[in-house]
Amino acid sequence: GIGGLWNNFKKTLSGGSGPVEATPKEPTKVDGGKYFRRGKRRAEKCQFLEAVALFNFALVRQREELGKNHIDCARTLNEIGLCWMMLGERYPAMTAFEEALYILQKHLGDGAEEVAEVTNNIWMVLHEQREESLMG
């Protein structure tokens, strides 16, 4: 259930070893890159709910460390969008993709490959929504 998922998630955040209470008194701050890599591993295992949570932690840290519109934030937002898409949640997926697209266009220009990838992800969400409305 939800309780088991939450306990597994807390264990993931603590590094996966032992109970969460066993953390040192002065915990070292985990950087955005580490949360991002953990999120990627979860996504590769199709654990999208845990992955999106880790990507959100990564995004918070990246914004603190690098600034709100850093290109790494855009990449993390794209991953968040992909996770939400895999979970069937179109609105949060679209929101994440749109913000990622804004940042990437600002940094890389309209013709960049990453811009095209995010644009394609947005198209996939819209296409899925259109198909559903035609069938329903």
Over its C-alpha atoms, the chain yields an Rg (Å, rounded) of: 17
Question: In whole angstroms, what separates CA 132 from the centre of its chain?
Answer: 25
The pTM for the full model equals 0.79
* 15-53 pLDDT, tens digit each: 554 444 444 455 567 899 999 999 999 999 999 999 999
pLDDT more than 90, % of the chain: 74
Closest C-alpha to 52, from 35, 66, 69, 68: 35
